[in-house]
Amino acid sequence: MALQFLGQISHEFEELGSEIEDILFKDPQMVLIKARTYGEKLALLINEQEGIREVYEVKQVERVRKLFRLEHIEKFNKEKLDWLRIRGNNAAHNVQYGSVEEAIKAHRYIYDLSFWYLECYGTLDFQAPKYKLPRATQQDSLATEELETLLNDNLERALDEKLAPLLKKIEQSQNEATASDVKTKKEVPIDEYLEEQGLEVIDMRHNGGTLWVMGGWELKSTIFALKDQKIFFRHSKQGSRSTRRKPAWFLLNKNKHDLKVSIEEEKASFFKSANKQEKEISTQTITRKHEQTASATSTNIHLKDEIKGERKQSDKAGIRIVKPLQFEKSQADEQILFPVSSNHIQDLFIRNQVGKNHLSSVQIDNITEIKMAHLRSLYVNNRNAFTSLISFFTFIGITFTGKLAEQLRFNLNPQDGYIVIDESISVSLNQLFPVYVRELLRPYGIYEMKDLHGIPVSWNC
């Protein structure tokens, strides 16, 4: 049973988890009511761990809000506790309320919250079992129509969970079979390893302290992966004086000095794994587009060839090419290079919905405020968003120095310049570019001629 490990919290929690799993498919309404009880008991337990005393009766909504305000719980845990409370209240006041899907969701939230609690307050050797949904028995009265709806709603997610590991193994086997060199392992000091993952490290070991990694619960995947090498961290929501009381993870190992992480040689490069996947996807996408158009013979895109091709001069009126494309260091971060035509860049992000979405992913309003710290944080939290953002940046002419420069999806051709679109332009994308070029431009928010204003003329994929 997925909730059997709740016994490591207390016998009371173990019994509550067992009762919920026994009726998961039989009585969704009661599952939601018991899940609300679980949420209330867990919040009280966190209060106890953090030394919070309630001198008068406090509602669950206020208790959870206070825990979040004091940074004892993260936003995602607050949302789950609120969900359990609201659904539980609805079930308690309406005998017809509750579906199997909601009961399953409550079951998963209980698992997630318990996992988080034991990682924060449990023993160092805690290992949660993988989440596994209990099987419905023949006695469980699950309506056929509801089951079909549930399966349809969750089929894609289930397939992803089942197929993703299999596809990963197949890909690894193919890579191993075709690799000409043998992967070797090397040991890297723990602080260097963490910095290579894009994390901010504060090392106080030389002063008799410990090693801190700045960040919240979103770093758990990276931090917990070190358990296999007997390297243990614990999260502190209030950090220490070294972290200026900001949330951070601190090293627990008694032998803190000369602690090293064993890694495969090819994984040592910063941003490399994400870039490899992105390049493969990019190559496959472009290859498919070119196969669909017999006229295309390479993966080099040169918009200047289309603009200067055999078109009527009247078609090209309102289009100019300014060259070369020159760069200057960003005032916010010298590792980021903006094109000298950067006055076009901010306008592009304002009018381009794709650009707007990318800015929101790093929580800034102006592209000139972007820093490598923003990119590292995004890389740690969302690899897909990171690779998409880097592709968009290089597409519009923003480039980088250092290790990240070696991992770019596109190689710009600065000598070919950038495009300037006059307001008097009358020609459309359909008139100017073939289908495969328009398809390549679409993911970057290029739908009309005005969207090309300030875009580099050519690049190599």
pLDDT digits (tens, 9 = 90+) for 44-81: 999 998 888 888 888 999 999 999 888 788 888 899 99
pLDDT in tens, 113-163: 998 888 878 876 777 788 888 876 655 544 444 544 554 555 445 545 555
Angle formed at CA 49 by CA 44 and CA 55, multiple of 5 degrees = 50
pLDDT bin (cut points 50, 70, 90) of residue 87 is very high
Q: Work out the end-to-end distance of the chain between its first and last CA atoms, rounded to an integer number of angstroms.
A: 49
The full length of the chain comes to 461
Percentage above 90 pLDDT, the chain: 17
List helix spans (H) across 225-302: 272-292
Number of Cβ atoms within 10 Å of the Cβ of 344:
19
Judging by beta carbons within 10 Å of its beta carbon (0-12, 13-18, 19+), is residue 454 exposed, middle or buried? buried
DSSP E strand stretches across 54-210 = 185-189, 201-203
Of 428, 376, 362, whose CA–CA distance to 404 is shortest? 376
pLDDT bin (cut points 50, 70, 90) of residue 293 is very low
Helix and strand element counts for the chain (H, E): 17, 14
Peptide bond into 414 cis (omega under 30): no
Tokens, residue 118: 């034991």
Cβ(92)–Cβ(103) below 8 Å: no
Domain ranges across the chain: 4-142, 185-267, 272-460
Round the average pLDDT of the chain to a whole number and report it.
Answer: 75
Cβ(200)–Cβ(213) below 8 Å: yes
Please tell me the distance from the alpha carbon of residue 23 to that of residue 37, in angstroms, as a whole number: 15
3-state helix vs strand vs coil in the chain, percent to 5: 55, 10, 35
Please tell me the distance from the alpha carbon of residue 416 to that of residue 426, in angstroms, as a whole number: 24
pLDDT in tens, 401-456: 877 776 565 566 677 777 888 877 777 777 777 776 777 788 888 888 888 887 88
Residue 187 scores a pLDDT above 50 = yes
The pTM assigned to this predicted structure is 0.44
